[in-house]
Amino acid sequence: MNEQKQTTTILDRTLAGERMSSADALHLWLHGNFRDLGNAAVEVRNRLNKPDEVSYTAFRVVNYTNYCNVECSFCSFMDEVGSGKGYNLSADEILRKVDEAMRLDSPQLFLQGGVNPDLPMQYYTDTLAAVRDKFPEVHIRAFSPVEVLYMEKLTGKSLVDVFAGLKAAGMHSFPGAGAEILTDRMRDILSPKKASTDEWLRAMRTAQQQGLKSSTNIVWGSEETDDEIIAHLTRLRELQDATSGVLSFVPWTFQAQTKKFRLRKVAPHEYLKMVSLSRLFLDNIQHIEVSIMVAGKQLGELALHFGADDINSPVIEENVLRSFGLKSVTESVQFIEEAGFNPVRRSFNYVRGAKTDQGN
Ligand code: SF4
């Protein structure tokens, strides 16, 4: 079968409801025309989500410390532990930031930081409890696999118990951050001290089995192979088959933060192909988000016509990545309308029409 014919056959089978194999996904990634994938992805997107609507949310990012001993090659945010150059935020400082977010009508907090061995477990639970007690309506999405795996070591408790303690203190959901590419070869290249593929998946599985909903992503545009991209997507689909705890998938590309890793420019057609392929392949994840902060407005708008149904932003503060996101709810609404859709605000857990999940 020639390549185009095989592409058509795979897309026809997918649209007929057949689950796409990893081998077929690789074929589409290597040989599919991005417009063909886009047309099929829009059809699937419209079956899973209302065709005329695009959702958005608003939240405050607080990076509670920038000390980190993981030393990912691509990270310009961290300061070396013990260098005296970094910061740890106190609970009061974090509460002030949440208060600012409340005044901007954004009752959701995304709390994340480096892995700082100088912080005791009580720091995390006290911080969560302080936010929960002062702002019970705020949804707290917190930490990442690498941070909770560190807490597991720090406390000597099981991961189940670590999550139970975090939940009891006020954590409501768990972001699937730090996945980059889920193969050990790429993790060794990019961040050898970070959680291995299996460890990352174990943390996600455990969180979701404890009822914490998550997002997932891919970060590509370094020296990953095509096979590794498909392996990554396959692992996320398997995770979701096991837990049903993944609400969304976000394609990200590496940004030029440091010169310590090999960066490859991802062309717009490749970005759009990833949006479409993920929509077609991740048949068990309802939402594909486009990060306007990473894609930019022009490519982000196109992505909404290639299978994405959510724009994620605006983010009130982002230290890890400075870029060109949407800066307000008004800007997000206008962006979605100009792209030809009706904007719908949603909470972290995708409750439509809600600004937060607490109290709903
Ligand atoms: S990306 Fe996160 S884990 Fe990696 S060095 Fe930066 S702060 Fe640490």
- 334 within domain boundaries: yes
**Running along the chain, 360 residues long, what does each successive block of 10 average in pLDDT?**
93 98 98 97 98 95 96 93 96 95 91 97 98 98 98 98 98 96 97 97 98 97 98 98 98 90 94 98 98 91 98 68 68 95 97 89
CA 336 to chain centre: 20
Distance 194 CA to ligand 1 centre (A): 8
- 360 within domain boundaries: no
Q: Is the CB of 121 under 6 A from ligand 1?
A: no
- Residue whose Cα lies nearest atom 6 of ligand 1: it is 75
Angstrom distance (rounded) from CA 274 to CA 230:
10
pLDDT at 319: 52
Closest approach atom of ligand 1 to CA 115: 8
- 247 within domain boundaries: yes
Do the beta carbons of residue 274 and residue 17 sit within 8 Å? Answer: no
Q: Around 339, how many Cα atoms within 13 Å sit in the side-chain half-sphere?
A: 30
- What kind and span of H or E run contains 141? strand 139-142
Total structural domains in the chain? 1
Distance 306 CA to ligand 1 centre (A): 31
Q: Is the CB of 114 under 6 A from ligand 1?
A: yes
Do the beta carbons of residue 348 and residue 57 sit within 8 Å? Answer: yes
- 357 within domain boundaries: no
Distance 76 CA to ligand 1 centre (A): 8
- 42 within domain boundaries: yes
Per the structure, the complete domain to which residue 210 belongs is given by: 3-345
- Residue whose Cα lies nearest atom 1 of ligand 1: it is 75
What CATH number should be reported for the domain holding residue 228? Answer: 3.20.20.70
Q: If we measure between CA atoms, which residue out of 248, 249, 153 comes closest to residue 203?
A: 153
Q: Which residues contact 79 (CB under 8 A, 6 or more apart)?
A: 66, 67, 68, 85, 86, 114
- 355 within domain boundaries: no
- 352 within domain boundaries: no
Q: Is the entire prediction scored with pTM above 0.85?
A: yes
Do the beta carbons of residue 62 and residue 111 sit within 8 Å? Answer: yes
- 245 within domain boundaries: yes
